[in-house]
A and B are shown apart, each in its own frame.
Chain A
Amino acid sequence: MSVQNEAVKNLKDAFYAQDDTKCPELTKKALEVGIDPLDLLENYLLEWAKEITGRSLYDTEHAEEGKPKLRSENAVMLSDLVMIAEVLTACVEVLKPELAKNVSQSSKASGKVIIGTVEGDVHDIGKSLVASMLASAGFMVKDVGYDVPAKVFVNEAKTYGVDILALSCSLSMAKLTTRDVVNNLKKVGIRDNLKIIIGGQAHYESDCEVLGVDAFGASISAALTKSNELMRILREKRAKN
């Protein structure tokens, strides 16, 4: 095994063990043996995080017809997600100075995102994880926090020149704010300038049509994949214009 492969393997083991002490040290070692920081971020750390956060909750492989599906042994719980965010953030902190040295390498700077939990809801963890993931993937992310009124989203979208508005909601009653955000964007005439993605336990795929938004991220990794897709659509649209 090459020195580089060994460094990646050690980092991967620590990452999957959610060891937030070892991971920054091993990230540093990986850089020392010559692994490109962008490569390390995009092809290893983010891929591992996507794999873990995208796991199915239920064991569908061994499910029997007419019997309850049981929770998969590899299912990822909220406590895992919080730790993955801690670990990923710690690794990215090590990588940041190296990435900054060669900005041109970060050619995938993907777009501007405003992300927040809508007014009436204070669930913060999932939203923050998506924000970390998007930022790690090259998006310029502004996290406006939780319990955010519709007018704040609209003002931020106007002043920040945003590409994607990411709205999280985990309390069903607070979905009324999601509706208000969309309506207010229409009122001020900027709805068509941007894309809206929704997530959180109270949002569903069917809400895209009901609420008039562009995408639903069922998981953290799905939020990243769909945000990339939305950016692609937005770029094509802008190129045509």
Chain B
Amino acid sequence: MKMMNIEFHSQEMRGDYPRVWNQPKIQCHFSETEQLMIERSHHRMVERSKTEKLSPRERAWGTIYGHDPIDYIPMEVPYSPNAANRVLDSFIESPSIITNKDLYDYPNLNFLSLALFFARIPSDSLFLLVQSYGEEQLTSKFRLVDHGPPLAVEGIAQTADAVEAKANLEFFMDNLPDPANRGLFPLNLWITKQSIKTFPEFLVRGCCCAGSIASASFLRGPKEFLLDVRKRPELANLAITCGTKYLLRKLDRMIEAIGEPFDIDNKNGNALWWCDGGGGYLTLEEFKRTYDLHFGISVPYCAKKGFPPFVATVAGGPATQVVAKTIEEQIGGGGIMVGTGVPPIDEGFEIMERRDKTLDRLYMDGAVGVKLFLAGEEPTRKWFKDFASYCAKTPEKGLRWEIFTSSLDPHLPLPNLDMLCRVHRETMNYPVTG
């Protein structure tokens, strides 16, 4: 057999990796100053929510499960290291002082910026985007950059030689690493646990991005994976199987971190977001083929865990035409979020549908893209009205909606975000009428 080109252990990863790489369990003690800043941030978040009819947790719970009365359609603005840079640089347009590497190196700093971020931005629940999508976990060569997630330079099985690629993928699958000790995933787990502990009034959404298709792309290299899908489907399937198995281990670890959330009646529970994009890469037929395989592995596994209502699969592009049927056929339960491209305003936003067969209802997610952030007040107001109008025209039992924004672009003017939040609160009250 050929020599494997796998570099498997995190410690062996090249580059100036952060110290969290060597710490399977991050244990940080906050200084008095740090504690003060976190407490003040928490206080601000709680005080702000006191002026509203529902607590943030009641609203989030009512939206996810539809059990409770609701006041307005909630909006989530996700936290990520990119956003943290701007927080710590006093929200200037182009961060230049604190870098992503700093945040990976210093978990305390990362968490502090998270607290400051949610104190500043009125997000209805705490969506903790991943620190990376797994670029540093599924590659044999990656690079850390000052501003942005790690760069996947070369996948573990990135080779034009199909035989070698197959051998590498099989080796990976036989020696599946533990994500809890790998790359930046331990940092994800720690931040999630800290947030649950620190902000009990808010629903925390832990995150397990990226999904199987993106993971397969990292393993094989994006171009090689796309060529596999078209010309060597068996190899593509093997890469997706590898990606799915690794993803399931990540899900396991994140579930452990979130702890006891998966009981519908337990309103103190938190949520898990499993983002599985990839719809934009593939044709409808290819998308269905790869998703059938991925769901065939992951859905029965998730069902056994008993958390389907919380797991979301986001798929842009052709999802509605293809995946809705796949879900009906294969899942037979709820908890899958399906995205569809719905771009009434210059492709600035999308609407996601979450069909939940168990609860017999539909849940929709309006995703605000960067273009809308940049568009100014008039288009933003129009978008919210269009979204409300769309919601109002979709009379399905138990329908709930939610707005989800993209992460903060380095050039996104902060006043635009403030305006977006203001317009959201002015236009998204129940009952929605458009």
Is the C-beta of B330 less than 8 angstroms from some C-beta in chain A?
Answer: no
Contact with A along B85-105 (1 / 0, CB 8 A): 000000000100000100000
Question: Which residues of chain A come closer than 8 Å to B317, judged between CB atoms?
Answer: 57, 71, 77
Query: Do residues A82 and B280 form an inter-chain contact, with CB atoms below 8 A?
Result: no
Is the C-beta of A122 less than 8 angstroms from some C-beta in chain B?
Answer: yes
Query: Do residues B390 and A68 form an inter-chain contact, with CB atoms below 8 A?
Result: yes
Is the C-beta of A195 less than 8 angstroms from some C-beta in chain B?
Answer: no
Which of B32-40, B161-169, B340-348, B423-431 binds A? B340-348
B184 → A minimal CB distance (Å): 16
Which listed residue (A67, A147, A173) contacts B82, Cβ 8 A?
Answer: A173
Question: Which residues of chain B come closer than 8 Å to A147, judged between CB atoms?
Answer: 143, 151, 153
* Nearest opposing residue in chain B for A171, CB measure: B148
Give the complex CA separation of A207 and B93 in angstroms: 14
Which listed residue (B100, B153, B281, B343) contacts A77, Cβ 8 A?
Answer: B281
Which of A94-102, A134-142, A157-165, A174-182 binds B? A174-182
Question: Which residues of chain A come closer than 8 Å to B100, judged between CB atoms?
Answer: 173
Give the complex CA separation of A58 and B280 in angstroms: 12
* Nearest opposing residue in chain B for A81, CB measure: B226
Question: Which residues of chain A come closer than 8 Å to B374, judged between CB atoms?
Answer: 204, 206
Is the C-beta of A78 less than 8 angstroms from some C-beta in chain B?
Answer: yes
Query: Do residues A125 and B222 form an inter-chain contact, with CB atoms below 8 A?
Result: yes
Which listed residue (B145, B149, B152, B281) contacts A119, Cβ 8 A?
Answer: B145
* A-side interface size class: 35 or more
Which listed residue (B145, B280, B347, B409) contacts A78, Cβ 8 A?
Answer: B280
Is the C-beta of B22 less than 8 angstroms from some C-beta in chain A?
Answer: no
Which listed residue (B282, B284, B390, B410) contacts A173, Cβ 8 A?
Answer: B410
Contact with B along A53-91 (1 / 0, CB 8 A): 000011000000011111100000111101100100000
Query: Do residues A69 and B344 form an inter-chain contact, with CB atoms below 8 A?
Result: yes
Which residues 185-239 in B have Cβ within 8 Å of A in the complex? 222-223, 226-227, 229-230
Give the complex CA separation of A83 and B226 in angstroms: 9
Listed in ascending order, the chain A residues whose CB lies under 8 Å from chain B are 18, 57-58, 66-71, 77-80, 82-83, 86, 119-125, 147, 171-176, 179, 202, 204, 206-207, 210
Residue contacts A-B, CB under 8 angstroms, 8 given: A58-B347, A69-B341, A77-B281, A82-B227, A82-B230, A121-B151, A125-B222, A172-B409
Listed in ascending order, the chain B residues whose CB lies under 8 Å from chain A are 82, 94, 100, 143, 145-149, 151-153, 222-223, 226-227, 229-230, 280-284, 286, 317-318, 320-321, 340-344, 347, 351, 370-371, 374, 386, 389-390, 393, 407, 409-411
